[in-house]
Chains A and B, each alone.
Chain A
């Protein structure tokens, strides 16, 4: 009894353990159970079961779907081909974005390249923009009259008819994803390069090694962990990416695993969806594990630590102009031009006709006229779109807020319980959502929370489920930011307040929260941006009441309301850029 009383008092005074248990439970419910749910669901007949197998009862145990996906005659079109496509996309994206990001990082951090400040702030933009922005811009240029009916810029201006493989499919998907993920490598590697102790390289130089050798023998191994993290982030996202393959692949029936999962769930073929989801998660996890094994590191957000000595900048000499051109071309062609093209598209009365008399603001402020876009009013007059804007901003703000607080709490619990199994479990579990591709996340939560379950009411059709999904999906970043922030706070700072009699809630609000402001802000801004442009994880979850800007873009794009879709994209870009700017002013920055 005494023992119990003491224990209770201790837990209340130092609630990090209590929080740990609470968070662990939450992670079990929102991460582990969904995973188990997929595993179980993939072995049960769904409502389509009886159509495939005579006498099948929905809910009955079966290995039919695994067999169908992996070994049947249908296998190659359901799984084989999409899987190959996904693999191809991911490998090509890695092969393009990692070297490109590395070169950019090296140029910006270690050389005397001009306009470095400009480049380092602009090179984060591709990540802030929705991944499909480049894809949409690509379409405006190369669109094929044969699909979607309207010609693109090339055809409109020059009468050129580009081959289909240029307009749709692998090439544009890879290009838009590569551009989108360059910032991962750029940010991580810039951080690593900036913190390398200059003495390490200088001592090699004094020993007579030339620049290329130093780069290969000293610098490269030192930044290898950062490269490994960049690889994990890129491959994890590229394997499961949904937006770009949907916009650029579906019109020509070029399927990736993610679009297959989407098709299965939206056709209510859940069990098949589960099998594909399980496979998608499996491959993502395997890639990450193999990478970790190869690099021998478990640190996922690693940069080289230690104080950097003063680094001398490499003089580019005659290479200055080509380097500047390379960066300039990338930024111009893949950052600014797409934004401009997408915006230009919204001003065209008729697609593909590039003439002054064809310019209009109708799609922004016009009232609906029957002959244009089936009478859809302009973006700012359109009740559906305005509702979606409200929803999106609400979703992004709430998710960012919840993620920020959750990240700090997780960081607090992980750091304060350091060394205990609880801390390790929390840290690894909070990384698990990274292995679950967004579209799969949506699929699982759709099945899990469609009906009321345990203490949870039916959440389908509410904003809550969208917030929940986006929060869990961004958990790895939020937790990472929280742990990093909490490492900076000495325990004594909290103990000093405790000695003055401040209870835990007060300590948290007065001491912990203000001191972890930067961690909170970086979790906040990153989640705000990703939720603002989230499509993958919510594509399956939105209903007419909870439509977001992204889901409307997706629908309008499929229905051929191009200008509206592009207009909303422009708005998303504007909102995220402003959000990023505000967060930077407050002292937060996007970091992975």
Chain B
């Protein structure tokens, strides 16, 4: 179980910088997710780790062993890196049976026939595919194909496993099931895993740490909680919305024991937050509050903003409310248990307060301070 260290990695495709000066450390046994929109360089980074792309600059080491270094002219071929990789479209060889697919790597290693048979049936049992040895990939469902692809990777006991959006071709329900299986498998096989996805829910549920990427640069690297609750900048805050987040421009009106902010253009809509740090009077900020951190009062309330229900969307266990401030331009989304929310009707007035959230600088987009979190 080696750790992975990526040092100042750069990869260009023609004029386009896919990965820019990326440095990242993955501890051994970790499950790290590279998360970002398409074209952010996450897949390129993964392929550089696999050795399928050759970076222009930088260094990649697995434990004490360097597999790529532009300075030393070192580039270990993919097959010699001791890694496994699961592809988005499974990449099962359609002309080989499940057994042949899984056995390929072992044959390549020169393992004896009897041992191969044992290893293959062992790993197929692990992924729940025993009894399918003689089937061809086209005779399997998407979920089964992905399980076979996993088996094919795990059978060679790689110390590092790379995942390139392995669940994105599956339907929602199957994705849930396989997510749980993947998490379980990772604990069992004890390999270091790097996982690429654009699905934030997948990243949050699976990872020990998430690296959020944009335009080839890591925006934030931290635990799912850190990334979710304390986004380093506006991009991370917005990308990890679940499903969306509130970003409201506001101005500092009063600094004292409690800080008063006013929603920009929202009329006399002031609200109070408890801040540890201090802000300048008149400073412009962008407020980020998760929908579940918005509280509402049915009657006027000290330090809460008056608003009106625009639409109520029950989703079963929860209810999502779209509320509009008095100027009708700013919209706040809130979310909560259905039994608390079901009383709300369109056009009903309500008063909104913010339990906890983050304030960003509108120019740089960086986090200025957070409020309301237990420390």
In the complex, chain A residues 506-525 whose Cβ is within 8 Å of any chain B Cβ: 506, 510-511, 514-515, 517
A497 CB–B CB distance under 8 Å:
yes
Q: Is the CB of A500 within 8 A of B73?
A: no
By a beta-carbon cutoff of 8 Å, the part of chain A in contact with chain B is 1-3, 5-6, 9-10, 13, 490, 492-493, 495-503, 506, 510-511, 514-515, 517
Between A496, A510, A515, the greatest number of chain B beta carbons within 10 A of the residue's beta carbon is seen for A496
B372 CB–A CB distance under 8 Å:
no
Q: Is the CB of B52 within 8 A of A495?
A: yes
Q: Please, which residue of chain B has its CB at the minimum distance from the CB of A496?
A: B91
Query: Which 6 pairs between the two chains have the least Cβ-Cβ distance?
Result: A501-B79, A2-B73, A492-B91, A500-B105, A496-B91, A492-B87
Q: Please, which residue of chain A has its CB at the minimum distance from the CB of B83?
A: A499
Q: Is the CB of A511 within 8 A of B75?
A: no
Contacts of A511 in B (CB 8 A): 93
- Cα separation A506 to B52 with both chains bound (whole Å): 17
Tell me, rounded to whole Å, the shortest Cβ–Cβ distance linking A499 to chain B.
Answer: 5
In the complex, chain B residues 24-79 whose Cβ is within 8 Å of any chain A Cβ: 50, 52, 54, 72-73, 75, 77-79
Q: Is the CB of B73 within 8 A of A6?
A: yes
Identify 12 new A-B residue pairs, CB closer than 8 A, beyond the known A499-B52, A500-B79: A3-B73, A6-B73, A490-B89, A492-B87, A495-B50, A496-B87, A496-B93, A499-B84, A500-B108, A501-B80, A502-B79, A511-B93
Contacts of B95 in A (CB 8 A): 514-515, 517
Contacts A493-B93, A495-B91, A511-B93; is A501 near B109 (CB within 8 Å)? yes
- Cα separation A517 to B94 with both chains bound (whole Å): 12
Contacts of A499 in B (CB 8 A): 50, 52, 78-79, 83-85
Tell me, rounded to whole Å, the shortest Cβ–Cβ distance linking B75 to chain A.
Answer: 6
Q: Please, which residue of chain A has its CB at the minimum distance from the CB of B76?
A: A9
Tell me, rounded to whole Å, the shortest Cβ–Cβ distance linking B271 to chain A.
Answer: 52
Q: Is the CB of A495 within 8 A of B87?
A: yes
- Cα separation A515 to B77 with both chains bound (whole Å): 24
- Cα separation A3 to B73 with both chains bound (whole Å): 7
Q: Is the CB of A13 within 8 A of B77?
A: yes
Q: Is the CB of B156 within 8 A of A500?
A: yes
Contacts of A497 in B (CB 8 A): 93, 104
Q: Is the CB of B54 within 8 A of A500?
A: no
Contacts of B50 in A (CB 8 A): 495, 499
- Cα separation A6 to B105 with both chains bound (whole Å): 26
Tell me, rounded to whole Å, the shortest Cβ–Cβ distance linking B149 to chain A.
Answer: 8
- Cα separation A490 to B54 with both chains bound (whole Å): 20
Contacts of A492 in B (CB 8 A): 87-89, 91
B290 CB–A CB distance under 8 Å:
no
- Cα separation A517 to B95 with both chains bound (whole Å): 10
* Chain B positions 83 through 111: 1 when the CB is less than 8 Å from some CB of chain A, otherwise 0: 11101110101110000000011001100
- Cα separation A515 to B138 with both chains bound (whole Å): 14
- Cα separation A498 to B105 with both chains bound (whole Å): 10
B152 CB–A CB distance under 8 Å:
yes
Q: List 10 A-B contacts (CB under 8 A).
A: A490-B89, A493-B93, A495-B85, A495-B91, A498-B77, A501-B109, A502-B104, A503-B79, A515-B94, A515-B95
